[in-house]
Structure 1
């Protein structure tokens, strides 16, 4: 394949990927929901701690949430919604892909995220 054809294939691939990403809807919590870190703490314990650690410091199954890679400017709140609803491919860590979390609603994720953000602020992650 000559250079022009390779370039066209790359461009078409990027356009297709962008169109796919734009068609993905980010789950949203209920309008007017006030995320509650206390509720998020219990939801985190039930749904997330087995992999991310009860202390949010990770485990042999999943990464720590108290790490700069999860600061809001790098992984914003919508990233948590997407990860819970659709899963996420491994890209920062070598724990493998994260599967979707069945039964966790966007409201649940908003509460969990509020808890994680509160704990991150306590250790200086802003």
Structure 2
């Protein structure tokens, strides 16, 4: 080797061993960001659809009664569907049914509270 030519010193762990490796590294970073980065959907605030709206003049007791009935129906539907499944899927569905049932109990108590005040 001549004095002006230095041997190429590379870090064995470096992704920049050659010119093309920089492009490969950039492509790998883009792929990782695409699959592992937090979802961009969470960056935008939730805006409910106005296609179906509840009448704002509906009284609280009626809204709570309707919500309670809807949650009770959802609990029954989830339980029926869970009955047709086996294993982990059944357990997951039964867990969701329990969460819905807890919501139903909370709404039911709120309905009782509203009824007691009147």
TM-score, length of structure 1 as denominator length:
0.29
* Larger helix percent: 2
Rg larger for: 2
